[in-house]
Structure 1
């Protein structure tokens, strides 16, 4: 897997803008938690989807597809948390488990033998 620093930096900037949007629309008590967690999640997802290049084209395609699905899931989960009042523990545990699952799938894809 090779890193494209221009695309990676653009993915991080896009993640920061999305996180700021969630920070602006979140309930008063959860703004910092939502902004921090969404920045971490979106930076990892967009960074792996856009900022890296896999050696095999098939692995790259599946990695981008999995990243797109998880990005949409994370976008929906963060929007629900920003608009409704959920427990911070529920949000951190749920998004943390989803992120760990995503990273495990991506790790397995990158180490797949062709």
Structure 2
């Protein structure tokens, strides 16, 4: 959704809720990667550069998953819009009156 698609406050709130849900799903995926990479590999006896594989899987894999999640969220889910402009466009008289009263 581009900036021009969000014209009302309700659309802005729907977009914000969509972004929050997607971020929560991304967090859950990163936690699963951490659990599988760390605890899931703890039973293996594999060493890489004198480090157990579960250490690499528990530290590096979630870091990579977080970077991938951030890129996916920024390109596919997040929208750039100014909430002040969207909120002010629907009730221009109310916004102007409240600014003059301060």
Shared fold, TM over 0.5: no
Q: Structure with the greater relative contact order (CA < 8 A, sep ≥ 6): 1 or 2?
A: 2
Query: Which protein has the bigger helix share?
Result: 1
TM-score interval w.r.t. the shorter chain?
Answer: 0.3 to 0.5
TM-score, scaled to structure 1: 0.34
TM-score, scaled to structure 2: 0.37
